[in-house]
Structure 1
Amino acid sequence: MLRKIINFAFWTGLFSVGASGVAGAAIYYQTLGDLPDVAKLKEVTFETPMKVYSADNKLIGEFGESKRIPVSIDQIPEKLKQAFIAIEDSRFYEHSGIDPIGIARAAIVSVSKGSAKQGASTITQQVARNFFLTREKTLKRKLKEIFISLRIEQVLTKDEIFELYLNKIALGHRSYGVAAAAQTYFGKKLDELTLGQMATIAGLPKAPSTLNPISNPKRSKERRHLVLDRMYTLGFITKDEFEKADNEPYKAEFHSSKLEGYAPYVAEKARLIALEKFGDSAYTDGIEIYTTVNTKDMQAAHDAVFKAVTEYDTRHGYRGSLDNVDLNKLKAKNEFALENYLYYKDIFHYIKPALVTNINDKEQYLSAIGRKNEEVIIKFENLKWAAPFISDKRQGPVPKRVSDVATEGDLIYYYTNATGENVLTQIPQVEALLIAINQYDGAIKAMVGGYDFAKSKLDRTSQSTRQTGSNFKPFLYSAAVAKGININTVFQDEPIKTWDPGSRTWWSPKNTPNRYDGNMTLREALARSKNVVSIRLIRRIGVHNTVEHVQKFGFNVPKSQQVESMALGSVEVTPLQLATGYAVFSNGGYKVEPYLITKIVKAGEVVYTHTPKHADPHAPDRVKNSISLEYNDVAEVADPNSYEQVLSHKNAYIVADMMSSVIYGGEGISGPYYGTGGRAYRTTGRTDLHGKTGTTNNVHDAWFSGYNGHITATAWMGFDTDRDLGYSRFTGPEGGAYSALPIFAEFIRLSQQDLEMAPLPIPEGLDKCTVSGITDWCVKGSGSLIEDDSQSDSQEQTENEQEQSEQAKPEDKIDTSNITDDNIF
């Protein structure tokens, strides 16, 4: 009887196995047509983000929906691989794609625990699911997963499968693959990870959104312990290694890509260009964009903007803490609460947040706690600037003690100065920018569109249009030279009143400061930025002729702005357009086209290149020195690789030389004079600079544009609103000389420390002529020379004013609003 039972059981079991095999085979062949070609895994390319590089091949930007850094299996540390093996698939190198033992073990655990506590999918099955399947929970999908896994094991080696897995797996915060996770959570490369950090990453695949150390540090720490315990149980690590890693401080925070240079506005502009060219695939095709900026110049530009904005904010007073917290309550929440609070406040490049923990009026310092539990000490001398801000034109009393400035629990911001001391600062409300180009080919060398990209992503260098103030005057003076007016011609610096029949008011443009110095040459008038001389000059040239001339520089002057006040800078342009206009003076008269991208590479192939034209101040002069654009007969055919010449070499040099007097001063009719841009020399010590300050009405915008033989740059400071820059007790009214010029000067000082002087070449055909006893540059055969304009100009103006005054009524008001200029210092 027993024999019959055994035989029956044997044959029944055998039949069941056979039937199962036949059924499995039938299902396999039935679904065979639906199975993907796993051999394609050998050719797989991962979706990789767009990368932006500087001209010196430094990574300055990375963009993509997903963060991924593909690495080969031999670049992955052994302990990290063992961590994944331990927690995900301990028999990976033993099974053939599916693991019956693992399935049985998972089933036993599930029964004993009363729920599914342990997964049974192998690493190969996860690869099959990640590359070919969805995560739907159906029998058909599971069978496909098994069949694909078996096929993968036939086509790929174990290491090839493991490499695919470690590069593809989702690990939270849009990070895919172990290298991306290491960067995201710890800001490290794989070979820099500690054992505890490796275990943290290995613990993520089960539930990356809820087990990651940023979103849920407590659960992530528990998961790390489990991974380390499995590694110890399997003999991958020793007891000492387990204990040391298990006791590692548990700190993780979000890290963006490890950039090698700071140029966020450049990177963002490059991103927009790539998106326009390639569409959304630009984010996933791993394209590499190479830009024209150099990281050294970009660092100098950002440093210069930060320094100038900080100095402006210091002059205008402290607006106080943005928040005050109860430190005890914050610490009582959990061990991560204080760090998390500061983490979300720490978004700026130059300044860092801290919470004040102690005020010491006796020894005159405050202490605060910063990121990562750092103690921050700020001495009184580094916060005594913080007089209360009352308005843009008024500051409160200077503080006498630390407690006048801060209290315990205040959220403050600080930076560390060159001597290593911490200095109190604040998030500024004012904005500033710098744009610099190579005037000979148009390459953008530095572009800072605002104080900090985290504060505002608006790129004001090309997306903001502003009145130029006196920054426009060199273009007016260029029109005068083209008209045949020599720069040693004498004009009157005396008040002007003009009757406007339309508004029935007097227009009375004024100098700033409101001072008038009689007769002076055009050179001195530009250097000292005399407004009334500019009005007399545009009347001499004619508004129409001036508009025709300035359009050569690329400026579009609307009809509404084609009035006499354009001489004072009522014309509106972007900073990039302004810098491009100044480049015409610095390169010998050529209108260059600014560009940012040199090439774009996709899958190792160059898919876009930009070949710029050039400007050569030594080339034969094609343009006659006239108000209209005419060409010399000797050079009718232009070089096809040359930019269009819109100004004669002679005109460009004469105006450039006048702008050197803005910085270094000169000898006038009444003796020596100083220009409005003297700080540029005092900051840089260079003798090869040219430039012009500019300030608009009510000190709304502050400008400085300048250059030497190396580079051309424009700096600006102002608010994005109608708010004016105001007044401080230290400088008086703000303006181009105080607010914007320091940006330019500091940029030149930092970026050209190791560069030789680069004076502009003197073109052929220039001569010296004497007018009213003053000798200066003039253009040989340039048309009628005006020997002395002062008498005729004065007589004409007097007659005009007498005629208009007869028409005026006693009740008519004088309109004193005007485009202002800069203080001389």
Structure 2
Amino acid sequence: MKKSFKKIIFTKLFLFSVLGALFVFILGGAIFMRYIFAGLPPVYELEEYTPSLTSKVYDRNQKLIHEFSIEKRSMVPLADIPVDLQNAVVAMEDREFFEHAGLSFKGIFRALLHDAATGRAKQGASTLTQQLSRGVFLSQEKKLIRKIREAILAVQIEHQFSKPEILQLYLNQIYLGEGAYGVKAAAKRYFNKDLDTLTTGEAALIVGLIPAPGRYNPFANPKLAEQRRNLVLQVMKEQGYIKQEELEEAKKEPMPTRQTAAENKPGLYFIEHIRRILEPKYGTETLWKGGLNIYTTVDIDQQTLAENIMNERLQKLDEQVAKGLGIEIDPNDAEAETAAEEDGTLTDPQADYPRLQGAFMVRDVKTGAVRVLIGGRGFDESKFNRATQAKRQPGSSFKPYVWMAALQKKYTPATLVKDLPTMFYNDGRNWRTFNEMSDLYSLDLASQPFISSKDFNVWVPKNYGGRNDGWITLRKGLEKSKNLVAVNLIDAVGVPEVVRVARKAGITSALPRVPALALGVSVLTMDEHLAALSTFANAGIHTDNYYVERVEDANGRVLEKHVSVEDAAFSPQNSYLLINMMKGVVQRGSGTAAARLGRPIAGKTGTTQSHRDMWFVGMTPRTAAAAWMGYDDDTSHEKGARFTGSTAARWWTDIMEQVLKNEAKDDFAVPEGISFAYINPATGKLAMPTERNKFWEAFIKGTEPKSY
């Protein structure tokens, strides 16, 4: 009886122990599975899966000119992926892909046997679906929990998506080395080809990269990459995807070699400028990873030729400066420069052999679309954009704003203006003139009492070359870029009126309210100066420069589209009179280099004090362009060579000869309210019919001279 009771007690205890252990096991398993499933992302996210994509930049003709990307990646539908490439992936990575439900038990068993035989856990057993789940959702670390989650996700993915959808996702996200994600990016990176042009051998090489992109990289290990490619081809043949002759032909294909990127890819200053515009607007993540399509205004062909011509011309001017400084060295001969350094004849090449810098811009007169933007010589040397970031004195290229102010004060191109010496003095509050004086000697005498006084500042401007012609027409004053005419005009119309004109034209930089403003002592950026002067060529209508036509997201949705805003800043009549006078600068003045183009061009040169800045801005009815040259340290190198705005006009012309070759040679349209009359260019009065030097001048109707 006692034994029976003990047996019952023991049996019950045993059962309780088993049940307890089973409960603990089940509870532990439940907790473990909860932990496993808690770390699983929802598989339906694959439907909206957007990997890090490349944002592409196009020029005005839809040419791809740049890519913003951290990863080189492009999404492409399965129908656009070559069948050979699809077959190669299935043959090498998952030959049972179309049969299993996410897991390959044959593969797992095969891997276990291999690992047992070798004593190392190296043999992979992952299906394409498992690789996809790992690549999209999970880390690459080799942990049991990760492998379990990978297997569960693979089964869920197989349940949610079709085989073609899984294969498409896989081929678009797999990493293939050299920063390339997906087969399209790999085709471009290794072969510089589109997917649909890949050969069988090229497709096999790309697939061969999958297990170890660094190891099988054809640029780093060409022999190993070739062996791997041939292995892929052999497996494809064994599985019936290609025939023996196709195998032999593909094995003969040459291995790709790394393409050397151009040191100075054209348009980099333009690209950097639009990055500065778009990155704050859309954010770094979206610009660099969002797959944007950015359609810009630049004409990359014009940009390329403009860069080449500018660099070539400025290099020749550099050599001219070096020769003037007595430096006998070939700038293209690195050995000569090294030798010169070693024997002490060239101790500091940068100082002894100054390097001119330049900037150049082309824009559409009417819309403001920027076609060419060059910020300097060599983006790799300096990212600083001298067209949009540098502020330099415009010199005499500022004078059109003064002339417009005069036109608005009822001056005409035939109005006689003073090309006479003038002395300005500042009494501590305002600038005033001694306008009763008529010669420099008298002005020098008159200025003596003020020079020694601390309460007065004295300024006696002069014409370039020191010559003055007395009273001349407003037109001649602009054509010959007379400084004395400019300062006398600003004194007559008022500095505030000139500032107002410059502001309406589009100048946003600070403008000093001094008479010297007429000579361009302010500092401006090229882009604002070009946009402002283009206002006059556009019948007085101002439009801002712009660089981006539209931006689309990765799905083609338009995020922004440029809409030009026009501002009627000046009357068409006054704008035409000014442009007509600026045409004279090219025909008879300091910009005659541009006359070589044989078309109507309105322009203005500019040279600042001590030849620190040299400008030329020229315009046709459709296209405006600006050229600047100078030194970054803002110093003058007059000892080597004395350059002027006319120097800039010459290489401006060389570039624009190519830019304008397909543009009609139209003249600026004459607006209503304009009349023409023959005048005497010396007196500004009507010319007699028999006069030989009479000039056909434009006027606003009713303002023509009345006397002969």
- TM bucket normalised to smaller: 0.7 to 0.9
Matches of 1:40 and 1:244, distance apart in 2? 42
Map of 1:120 onto structure 2: 125
> 3-state DSSP class of the match of 1:121?
coil
> 3-state DSSP class of the match of 1:164?
helix
* 1:469, distance to aligned residue in structure 2 (A): 1.1
**Deviation per CA, 1:685-728, whole angstroms, max 9, x where unpaired?**
21x21011112222222211121211222222233333446577
Map of 2:540 onto structure 1: 589
Structure 1 residue runs of 5 or longer lacking an equivalent are 1-21, 318-386, 411-426, 615-642, 666-674, 789-825
Asked whether 1:565 is paired with 2:489, we answer no
Identical residues among aligned pairs (%): 33
* 1:761, distance to aligned residue in structure 2 (A): 1.9
Map of 1:746 onto structure 2: 655
Matches of 1:106 and 1:392, distance apart in 2? 77
Asked whether 1:268 is paired with 2:272, we answer yes
Instruction: Tell me: CA distance 1:470–1:206, structure 2 relative to 1, closer, same or farther (3 Å).
Output: same
Asked whether 1:471 is paired with 2:390, we answer no
* 1:435, distance to aligned residue in structure 2 (A): 2.4
**Deviation per CA, 1:195-233, whole angstroms, max 9, x where unpaired?**
443333223232334543345556545544543454455
> 3-state DSSP class of the match of 1:461?
coil
Map of 2:595 onto structure 1: 681
CA contact (8 A) 2:626 2:652 kept: no
Matches of 2:551 and 2:205, distance apart in 1? 37
Alignment of 1:216-615 (within 5 A): 217=222, 219-238=224-243, 241-242=246-247, 245-246=250-251, 248-253=253-258, 263-279=267-283, 280-293=285-298, 295=299, 298-317=300-319, 390=322, 393-394=325-326, 396=328, 429-488=355-414, 489-492=416-419, 496=440, 499=447, 501=451, 507=459, 509-513=461-465, 520-556=472-508, 558=510, 561-602=512-553, 603-614=555-566
Structure 2 residue runs of 5 or longer lacking an equivalent are 1-25, 339-352, 422-438, 687-696
CA contact (8 A) 2:537 2:620 kept: yes
Alignment of 1:646-657 (within 5 A): 646-657=569-580
Matches of 2:575 and 2:386, distance apart in 1? 27
CA contact (8 A) 1:302 1:448 kept: no
Map of 2:341 onto structure 1: none
The number of residues matched between the two structures is 627
Matches of 1:161 and 1:452, distance apart in 2? 46
Map of 1:344 onto structure 2: none
Give 2:369's aligned amino acid.
Answer: A
CA contact (8 A) 2:594 2:649 kept: no
Matches of 1:290 and 1:127, distance apart in 2? 33
**Deviation per CA, 1:559-615, whole angstroms, max 9, x where unpaired?**
7x332322221111111111121122112223323333333323332232332234x
1:201 to 185, 206, 213: 206
CA contact (8 A) 2:603 2:618 kept: yes
Instruction: Tell me: CA distance 1:523–1:29, structure 2 relative to 1, closer, same or farther (3 Å).
Output: closer
Instruction: Tell me: CA distance 1:720–1:690, structure 2 relative to 1, closer, same or farther (3 Å).
Output: same
Instruction: Tell me: CA distance 1:109–1:239, structure 2 relative to 1, closer, same or farther (3 Å).
Output: farther
Matches of 1:73 and 1:723, distance apart in 2? 61
Instruction: Tell me: CA distance 1:722–1:245, structure 2 relative to 1, closer, same or farther (3 Å).
Output: farther
> 3-state DSSP class of the match of 1:463?
coil
* 1:515, distance to aligned residue in structure 2 (A): 5.1
Instruction: Tell me: CA distance 1:135–1:679, structure 2 relative to 1, closer, same or farther (3 Å).
Output: same
Asked whether 1:701 is paired with 2:652, we answer no
Matches of 1:146 and 1:441, distance apart in 2? 58
CA contact (8 A) 2:675 2:698 kept: yes
CA contact (8 A) 2:387 2:525 kept: yes
Matches of 1:512 and 1:787, distance apart in 2? 33
Matches of 1:646 and 1:172, distance apart in 2? 56
Matches of 1:551 and 1:434, distance apart in 2? 23
Map of 2:14 onto structure 1: none
Give 2:581's aligned amino acid.
Answer: M
CA contact (8 A) 1:51 1:61 kept: yes
Asked whether 1:141 is paired with 2:53, we answer no
Instruction: Tell me: CA distance 1:535–1:33, structure 2 relative to 1, closer, same or farther (3 Å).
Output: closer
Instruction: Tell me: CA distance 1:699–1:391, structure 2 relative to 1, closer, same or farther (3 Å).
Output: farther
**Deviation per CA, 1:375-422, whole angstroms, max 9, x where unpaired?**
xxxxxxxxxxxx9x74775553899xxxx9576999xxxxxxxxxxxx
* 1:757, distance to aligned residue in structure 2 (A): 1.3
Greater shift in the superposed pair: 68-77 or 233-242: 233-242
**Deviation per CA, 1:431-479, whole angstroms, max 9, x where unpaired?**
3232233333433343333344444433332211111011111111222
CA contact (8 A) 2:266 2:307 kept: no
> What RMSD in Å do the two structures reach over aligned CA positions?
3.9
2:667 to 748, 758, 764: 758
Map of 2:94 onto structure 1: 89
CA contact (8 A) 2:479 2:582 kept: yes
* 1:510, distance to aligned residue in structure 2 (A): 4.3
Instruction: Tell me: CA distance 1:726–1:206, structure 2 relative to 1, closer, same or farther (3 Å).
Output: farther
Map of 1:691 onto structure 2: 603
Greater shift in the superposed pair: 536-545 or 95-104: 536-545
Instruction: Tell me: CA distance 1:428–1:95, structure 2 relative to 1, closer, same or farther (3 Å).
Output: farther
Matches of 1:551 and 1:406, distance apart in 2? 48
**TM-score (ref. length: structure 2):** 0.78
> 3-state DSSP class of the match of 2:125?
coil
Structure number with greater Rg is 2
Instruction: Tell me: CA distance 1:557–1:154, structure 2 relative to 1, closer, same or farther (3 Å).
Output: closer
Matches of 1:694 and 1:594, distance apart in 2? 22
> 3-state DSSP class of the match of 1:172?
coil
Alignment of 1:5-16 (within 5 A): none
Matches of 2:666 and 2:639, distance apart in 1? 36
CA contact (8 A) 2:362 2:370 kept: yes
Map of 1:78 onto structure 2: 83
**Deviation per CA, 1:715-761, whole angstroms, max 9, x where unpaired?**
22233333446577xxx522222234522552254334242413232
1:660 to 564, 583, 587: 583
Give 1:574's aligned amino acid.
Answer: T
CA contact (8 A) 1:214 1:254 kept: no
Give 1:76's aligned amino acid.
Answer: I
**Deviation per CA, 1:770-796, whole angstroms, max 9, x where unpaired?**
78254444445779x9999xxxxxxxx
* 1:168, distance to aligned residue in structure 2 (A): 0.7
Greater shift in the superposed pair: 35-44 or 498-507: 498-507
Specify which structure has the higher proportion of helix: 2
Matches of 1:594 and 1:407, distance apart in 2? 44
Matches of 1:118 and 1:90, distance apart in 2? 16
Asked whether 1:192 is paired with 2:118, we answer no
Matches of 1:664 and 1:89, distance apart in 2? 76
Map of 1:635 onto structure 2: none
Matches of 1:558 and 1:397, distance apart in 2? 42
* 1:121, distance to aligned residue in structure 2 (A): 1.3
Matches of 2:38 and 2:492, distance apart in 1? 87
**Deviation per CA, 1:480-534, whole angstroms, max 9, x where unpaired?**
2223333331533668566473789975544445555565433223212233332
Matches of 1:456 and 1:24, distance apart in 2? 64
